[in-house]
């Protein structure tokens, strides 16, 4: 899960969450434009790796005959 924040002068607010990195990348230009319009200086993100690990398919070991 990717959490997106708008920040300025040590203050930040979470504005969006994404389950897909490709969706986040597609929306990033619009998020940056919106942040600027609202007076924020930075768009930052954090990645919840534990959430991502839940969806990684781990191949089963081959059974020996």
Q: Where are the alpha helices (DSSP H) in the chain?
A: 21-37, 49-53
Query: 14-18, 31-35, 45-49: which range is least confident on average?
Result: 45-49
pLDDT of 63 strictly over 50: no
pTM attached to this predicted model: 0.74
pLDDT of 62 strictly over 80: no
Mean pLDDT for 41-52 is: 84
Q: Where in the chain are the domains?
A: 2-53
pLDDT of residue 48: 83
């Amino acid at each position: 899960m990717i959490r997106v924040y708008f920040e300025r002068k040590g203050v930040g607010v979470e504005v969006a969450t994404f389950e897909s990195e490709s969706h986040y990348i597609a929306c990033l230009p619009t998020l940056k434009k919106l942040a600027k319009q609202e007076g924020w200086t930075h768009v930052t993100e954090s990645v919840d790796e534990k959430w991502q690990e839940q969806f990684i398919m781990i191949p089963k070991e081959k059974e020996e005959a």
